[in-house]
Chains A and B, each alone.
Chain A
Amino acid sequence: MERFTSSVTDSSLLYGNTHILWLDQPQVLNNCRPGEFLMTYIGDGHDPLLGRALSIHRLREGINGPEFGLLFDVVGRGTHWLAQRNIGDQISFVGPLGHGFEVRPRVNQMLLVGGGIGCAPLIWLAEELIADDRNVTLVLGGRSKEQIFPSQLLPPEIEIVVTTEDGSLGEKGLVTGPFKRLLPWSDQVFACGPDPMFEALYQVTKQAGSGKSLQGLLEGRMACGFGICYSCAVFPKKGGVRLICTDGPQFDLKEIYS
């Protein structure tokens, strides 16, 4: 839980408005899992004040040892600052935080659904599932082709289905189209994206009468990321209140929406 600092090893605009940073992986991340996140601190002063919650995007073996990647859309002050980091710059973090995806043993057909930048943690999950000899179909959705993670950067074993709202790449429409088709095939579903996407996926599952669990990685505004600020509340339809940072961020979407 202590803040740690890592050096940037690589930084580039990967596609559209989406940037990737690679950093030296400290030992504290040795056992981290897809779906867990880091609080990422911007600058070394108090403005901006708070950390940014970013999913761990990928791990890789770099030239000088293991590295971890962060994939993010450049949208605000924090992500602009991150995108301007150069090789050798230091960034501080707290983590890994939260509960990531839970993969059941002995199931084979894995359906992953990412909306926009929600693809960030799913790509690592997909790689791990492929390495574990499972069948993976990854549905990537975005407003246009600029929001779609480049398929040539993914392992060829992954079946990729792309949807864009403007039809500039793949099927025209939302991820719910291919999701509806692929749901009967799948043994387990993992999703990450905006809240309306989660609700739509839940509705499709409900209409299909499917009893399958639907693991979603929720996002919410966080001040701390580790359960003390109570900012990232989520209110399950059936009552009560949960914190995304410590009770999640992975939730069974049925628990949230039914």
Chain B
Amino acid sequence: MTEQTDFVQIRHAQKSFGELEVLKDISLSVDRGQIVAIIGPSGSGKSTLLRAINDLDALTGGEIWLDGTRVNKDLPHRQYEKHINEMRQQIGMVFQHFNLFPHLTVRENVTMAPMLLKGLSKDDANALAEEQLDHVGMLERIDYYPSQLSGGQKQRVAIARALAMKPKLMLFDEATSALDPELVDEVNQVMKTLAEEHMTMIIVTHEMDFAAAVCDRVLFMDKGVVVEEGPPEVIFKNPTQERTREFLRKHIEGAK
């Protein structure tokens, strides 16, 4: 067992669907408090990589480590279940399509996991929920149902729901891709605040401007490999790889 000094470590991640190799030997380290953006064309494997970190889509090869513990441990089924559930409490995830629980109010969406998994009392959980929802600016809608909220509002609640578990790491899977343009800003604001509070974040995104403004590091992925990696100034202004240049060119033109 090598000592893992980095906060988040991905070692030789590999993922195949039958014949198709979606991730080809990816290794990556993230320090505590770092904000990492992963960009790339669709099919590049960036979402798959993100979802492998909390083992939502298991890798076919390679290891994921968080703060000294291996996430995707090789264990018999029952022990594995227990282990992964514990690990997932430490990793928050925000989805492109929010995935709020429609049958629960905003309050209940946020309090459910803390009460169920951490044994919080109803009062403590409510206080926690109010704190988190206030943090994302959704406190006044606390007793609404998700169906009564706009996309941006839903996503902010989803972020609060994830934060309520006090995770060590937050994963964002194209958190603003499904939002109308006017609603993107409110979510970006929340993410910016989180970054300023030194939450460790890995963000898969199409928004280059946001990535440039908020992130410490940017990874460009294409066809299952990390093509290039570096600080935003380098990647966005002076990429060394031709593939990176091409992608950025297309992307900026497309945005125009």
Q: Do A and B bind each other?
A: no
